[in-house]
Amino acid sequence: MKKIYTHFLILLIVSVLFSCKKEESNVPVVNTSGTNNPNQPPSGSSATKLFTLDTAKIYQYSINGTNEQTIVNRKIGNSSYINDLSLSADGSEFVYIDVQGASNGTVYIFTHQIRIFDLEKSNDNSIYSTTDAIIFVVKYCADGKIFFATKNKLDNDIIKYYIINSDGTGLKESQGYFTNLVDITSSRRFMLLSIYTLGSPPSVSIVDSTLDGGTGTYHSEFFSSSDFVYDGTFSPNGKKVVIPFLDGTDINIRIVDMDTKTATTRTIVSGVGQYSFAGITIANDNNSVALCVPGNQSKEKSKIYLFKLDDTAISSFDAKSWVVNKAYIY
């Protein structure tokens, strides 16, 4: 999905999406073509850590969805939220986008920060801050560098890419090109864009930064005009792209092989409402996946689905609340 560039619109649209689901919609069920074993992660998974994002809080779980604990709470006011996070290659810390809104008496100002949380020491430090731009993508890369992208608040077409060390030193800026960037490989070579709906059929593009001055298309994955396509993600090794999408009442995933540029489709959840959303991440084993389907304000909690790309087994558990919108697996 395309990013919304105005902060108030972000909060408003998310609220509308969650609250306007049909009251009579069925509770989502795991695709029964696989093995459904709730609260037990798929066998053979090497994933060890699981996190969920709940507005301005980050929760950590054991890999089967138990032993929940709040590890980050950035709730300062009514306009506090965490936009995204990315785990380091060794899983010892993560980087995240923190957003805080406050009035100075005349105008409402949003401050965007890049923050680092050390899981071993429970340290939480800001390494970059801006009130002039919107930080909309962040990635903890394999070389220990942190990539992030910004949009100018007054002109969203002014895009900048940045590289920074995890201690906040060595900031480097470069020209950016894509307002609909949603992920980048750990090598920083390939970029994944959100769905382009003006084409026929609609498509998701993968850009190779070594081609055409950083704007060359490496591959385009096409979808039906009736599909509702969500933001996808690269596997940590950059060998696969996984894109969730809603087809009728099924949430499917499209798995793209980066080497062969071929794809397969798999149904993960059936019986969801027409306004359902899905966020997806892939663990450091490049196989274990966490897919989050946010709940309904009046009826349902968000649900986390755990599975492997090479296996049909799927497990699931309920998140803390209906506003949990993404799960991160390591």
3-state percent helix, strand, coil for the chain, nearest multiple of 5: 5, 50, 45
Residue-wise pLDDT tens digits, 108-151: 999 999 999 999 999 999 999 999 999 999 999 999 999 999 99
Conformational region of residue 131, where left means phi above 0, alpha means psi within -120 to 50, and beta covers everything else: alpha
Which is more confidently placed, 35 or 143? 143
Mean pLDDT, to the nearest integer, of 279-293?
A: 97
Give the global pTM.
Answer: 0.86
| Rounded mean pLDDT, 220-233 | 96
Percent of the chain with pLDDT over 90: 77
pLDDT, average across residues 78-96: 96
pLDDT of residue 45: 60
So what's the architecture of 7-329 in CATH? 6 Propeller (2.120)
Per-residue pLDDT band for 39 (boundaries 50, 70, 90) equals low
Residue 212, pLDDT above cutoff 80:
yes
Q: What is the pLDDT of residue 205?
A: 97
Enter the tokens of residue 182: 């949603």
Mean pLDDT, all residues of the chain: 88
Tokens of residue 148, six digits: 């992030």
**26 CB-near residues (< 8 Å, 6+ apart):** 249, 271, 272, 273
| Domain range annotation of the chain | 7-329
Task: Please compute the mean of the pLDDT values over residues 262-291 and round it to a whole number.
Answer: 94
| pLDDT band, very low/low/confident/very high, at 81 (cuts 50, 70, 90) | very high
**Where does the pLDDT of residue 172 fall: very low under 50, low under 70, confident under 90, or very high at 90 and above?**
very high
**What's the pLDDT score for residue 43?**
55
Three-state SS for 68-86 is CEEEEECCCCCCEEEEEEE
Most confident of 11-15, 104-108, 282-286: 282-286
pLDDT at position 274 is 76
At 295 the pLDDT is 86
The tokens describing 266, both together, are 């798999």
pLDDT at 28: 57
Spatial distance between the Cα atoms of 102 and 170, rounded to a whole number of angstroms = 29
Query: According to the 3-state scheme, what is the secondary structure of 284-329?
Result: CCCCEEEEEECCCCCCCCCEEEEEECCCCCEEEEECCCCCEEEEEE
